Amino acid sequence: MTVPVVREATPERKAEIFGKVVADVRFQDYVHGCYECGICVAACPSARFYDFSPRKITQAVCREDLDLFWEHVNVDVWNCSQCFSCDRCPRGNSPGGLITIMREVAVTAGLRSAKEALEGGERVVYKIMSTGTQVSPDMLQPEAFPDWGPDVQDVSRNLDLWRRALPPETLHTTTTAWEIDDKTLVELYLIWHMTGVLDMIKAVDEGLHMILNDVMEELLEDHDIVVS
Ligand code: SF4
Ligand code: SF4
């Protein structure tokens, strides 16, 4: 994924964003220094496919190299698959955890690169909130996820047929992958609300945030829940 670095960043802005990462309550658990051994890179699936290195990101943070940190927080963090295979670090670091913090700070600080990196994810977020399903069959469209490759074209052409051929417990619809109880959707919404996920969505996509609130309004009323 190529995301342009925000060139107009000032040293003060870089220091501010770096400070937010270090101030995160999880930071002390995730970063303890770096032996530069590269074990995290060897374990990292993203490093096989992208010009991406959890070692470089961890080192930049440990050395407090603000220019490199700025490059990573704007570009590289979005290439992490969040699999945490790098947690086998002999220094006890969690490069994936550090990257999680950096992503969250990039979003909440409203970095333009974060908004650009997350563009296109809104259909997945909307689907999760409205149906509890991350990816449903009707999303298997070639233009929706170009990186899924040419086979998606065949599948999307015969979607109804494929769905009818599946066992009954998977449902035969194309708009949901499985059925989710309304109570679960309400719980999901409240978790997102209380943990700040909805605020993060608002920071990158205000329109999507409004749509999600509209989607949930009736359901919350049905369950007599008032969200403040
Ligand atoms: S595995 Fe740990 S110590 Fe080794 S390079 Fe990665 S972060 Fe540094
Ligand atoms: S969590 Fe990210 S950095 Fe760590 S191994 Fe997975 S893809 Fe690589």
Task: Judge whether 70 lies within some domain.
Answer: yes
What per-residue confidence (pLDDT) applies to 99?
98
Q: Which domain holds residue 58?
A: 11-117
90-102 pLDDT, tens digit each: 999 999 999 999 9
Task: Judge whether 185 lies within some domain.
Answer: no
What per-residue confidence (pLDDT) applies to 181?
87
In the chain, the percentage of residues whose pLDDT exceeds 70 is 93
Report d(CA 53, CA 56) in Å as an integer: 5
Task: Judge whether 150 lies within some domain.
Answer: no
- Supply the DSSP string of 49-113, one letter for each residue: HSS--HHHHHHHHHTT-HHHHHHHHHTGGGG-----GGGG-TT---HHHHHHHHHHHHHHTT-HH
Residue to substitute in 79, 84, 94 for testing ligand 2 pocket (most ligand atoms within 8 angstroms of CB)? 84
What per-residue confidence (pLDDT) applies to 227?
79
What per-residue confidence (pLDDT) applies to 159?
82
Q: List C-alpha distances in Å: 98 to 4, 202, 219.
A: 21, 23, 36
Assess contact for 219 and 180: CB atoms under 8 A. Answer: no
Q: Is the pLDDT of residue 171 over 80?
A: no
State if residue 54 touches ligand 2 by the CB under 6 angstroms criterion.
Answer: yes
Q: Is the pLDDT of residue 142 over 70?
A: yes
- Which atom number of ligand 2 is nearest to the Cα of residue 84? 1
Report d(CA 50, CA 32) in Å as an integer: 26
What per-residue confidence (pLDDT) applies to 165?
82
Q: What mean pLDDT do residues 160-186 have?
A: 79
| Ligand positioned closest to the Cα atom of 44 | 2
For the chain, the domain total comes to 1
